[in-house]
C-alpha cells in the first residue's frame, strides 16, 4: 500500500470547519471524493452546492474521472453532498456497513417507523477489512467506531482518511458523546490507525484552527504518535477514556446535529417536498439531554 502515493486535494469549508477530499491516481486520472459537504444555512433554511461545485470544477480542470463518492460516517455537523455528486457524475456512493445501526438508532429518534434502515440509500456498504481500488491504487477499509457506531477509515495507498477519529496533533481526538459513541472503542480504533506504517499520511475531516492558525489537515502516523495532544498523554485505554469523557462533558452539541442526521442517514437526500412544494426538516425537542449549552 505504501508504495502507492495518491494525489490528495483538500477543500476546507469555513462554515463547518470540514475538509473534503479528492483522492486521485496520477497514472489513470481516476479519483474518489471523500466526505463532500452540501451547504446549509440553519438561520435561513437555505441550501446550496458551492462546496460540491468547487470539487466538480477541480475534477473537470484536471481531467479526472470519479470512481467513488465515499462517506466515512453519517455526519452530525454538515449535510452530505453524496447524492448531489452522484447525480452529477454517475459514480457509486459508499459508506461502512454499520451505517444500518446508526439508521436504526436515529429512525426511532425521528419517529420514522417506515424508514428503511438497511443501507439501501448507498450503492455500496463496505465491510471491515474489505478492499477496493481508486484507479490502480489499492485501498482498504478499517472499522473505526467510537465517534459513531459506523465510522470507518479509508486507507488509499499511503493515505489514511480518518475523519472524526484523530484531529491534527495540536487538536487531539474526536468526541464520543453522540448517541452510539464510546471512548474505549475510539481508543482501540486509534490504536489500529496508528499501527499503520509511520510514514502513512493521515488526513482528518475537521480542523478548528486552535489559536487562530491557518487550517491544516495532513500529518503522519509518526507525528500523531509523538505529538497528538491526547494520545501522547495517555499510557493506556483507561487514561484515554477518562480524558475523553471529561472533555466531552464540556462540549455543546454541534449546532446542526438534529438537522444533519435526518439527511445523512438517508444518503444525503433532502426530505421530499410536501404538497406545497416545500421541503421540511423535523427537529425532535429535548432529545439530547444532558449536553452542555453554549
Q: Which pLDDT score, from 0 to 100, does residue 292 have?
A: 86
For residue 211, what are the CA distances in angstroms to 110, 214, 218, 267, 294?
37, 9, 18, 35, 19
Q: What distance in Å separates the CA atoms of residue 27 and residue 188, rounded to the nearest whole number? A: 35
pLDDT under 70: residue ranges of the chain = 1-2
Q: In what side-by-side order are the strands of the sheet with 201-204? A: 131-134, 137-143, 152-156, 159-163, 201-204, 218-220
Pairing of strands 137-143, 152-156: antiparallel
Per-domain boundaries in the chain: 7-264
Phi-psi region of 268 (alpha: psi -120 to 50; beta: other; left: phi over 0): left
Largest distance between two CA atoms of the chain: 58
Phi-psi region of 182 (alpha: psi -120 to 50; beta: other; left: phi over 0): beta
Q: Which pLDDT score, from 0 to 100, does residue 45 have?
A: 96
Q: Which pLDDT score, from 0 to 100, does residue 289 have?
A: 85
CA Rg, the chain, in Å? Answer: 18
In the CATH scheme, what is the code of domain 7-264?
3.60.15.10
- Which sign does the torsion angle of CA 132, 52, 206, 110 carry? negative
- Which sign does the torsion angle of CA 109, 111, 113, 118 carry? negative
Q: Which pLDDT score, from 0 to 100, does residue 1 have?
A: 56
Q: Which pLDDT score, from 0 to 100, does residue 2 have?
A: 55
Q: What distance in Å separates the CA atoms of residue 149 and residue 147, rounded to the nearest whole number? A: 7
Residue 67 near residue 25 (C-beta atoms within 8 A):
no
Model confidence, pTM: 0.96
250 Cβ partners below 8 Å, 6+ apart? Answer: 292
Q: Which pLDDT score, from 0 to 100, does residue 286 have?
A: 94
Amino acid at each position: 500500500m505504501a508504495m502507492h502515493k495518491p494525489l490528495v486535494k483538500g477543500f476546507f469549508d469555513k462554515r463547518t470547519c470540514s475538509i473534503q477530499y479528492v483522492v486521485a491516481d496520477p497514472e489513470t486520472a481516476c479519483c474518489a471524493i471523500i466526505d463532500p459537504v452540501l451547504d446549509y444555512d440553519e438561520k435561513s433554511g437555505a441550501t446550496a452546492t458551492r462546496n460540491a461545485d468547487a470539487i466538480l470544477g477541480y475534477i473537470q480542470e484536471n481531467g479526472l474521472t470519479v470512481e467513488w463518492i465515499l462517506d466515512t460516517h453519517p455526519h452530525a455537523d454538515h449535510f452530505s453532498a453524496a447524492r448531489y455528486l452522484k447525480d452529477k457524475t454517475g459514480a457509486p456512493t459508499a459508506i461502512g456497513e454499520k451505517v444500518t445501526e446508526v439508521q436504526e438508532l436515529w429512525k426511532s429518534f425521528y419517529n420514522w417507523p417506515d424508514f428503511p434502515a438497511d443501507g439501501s440509500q448507498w450503492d455500496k456498504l463496505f465491510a471491515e477489512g474489505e478492499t477496493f481500488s481508486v484507479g490502480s491504487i489499492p485501498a482498504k477499509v478499517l472499522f473505526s467506531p467510537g465517534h459513531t457506531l459506523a465510522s470507518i477509515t479509508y486507507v488509499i495507498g499511503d493515505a489514511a482518511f480518518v475523519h472524526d477519529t484523530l484531529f491534527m496533533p495540536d487538536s487531539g481526538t474526536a468526541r464520543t458523546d453522540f448517541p452510539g459513541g464510546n471512548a474505549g472503542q475510539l481508543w482501540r480504533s486509534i490504536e489500529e490507525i496508528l499501527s499503520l506504517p509511520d510514514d502513512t499520511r493521515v488526513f482528518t475531516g475537521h480542523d478548528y484552527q486552535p489559536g487562530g492558525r491557518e487550517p491544516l489537515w495532513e500529518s503522519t502516523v509518526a507525528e500523531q504518535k509523538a505529538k497528538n495532544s491526547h494520545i501522547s498523554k495517555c499510557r493506556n485505554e483507561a487514561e484515554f477514556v477518562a480524558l475523553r469523557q471529561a472533555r466531552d462533558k464540556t462540549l455543546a452539541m454541534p449546532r446542526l446535529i438534529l438537522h444533519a442526521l435526518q439527511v445523512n442517514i438517508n444518503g444525503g437526500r433532502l426530505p421530499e417536498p410536501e404538497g406545497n412544494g416545500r421541503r421540511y426538516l423535523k427537529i425532535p425537542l429535548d432529545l439530547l439531554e444532558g449536553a452542555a449549552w453554549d
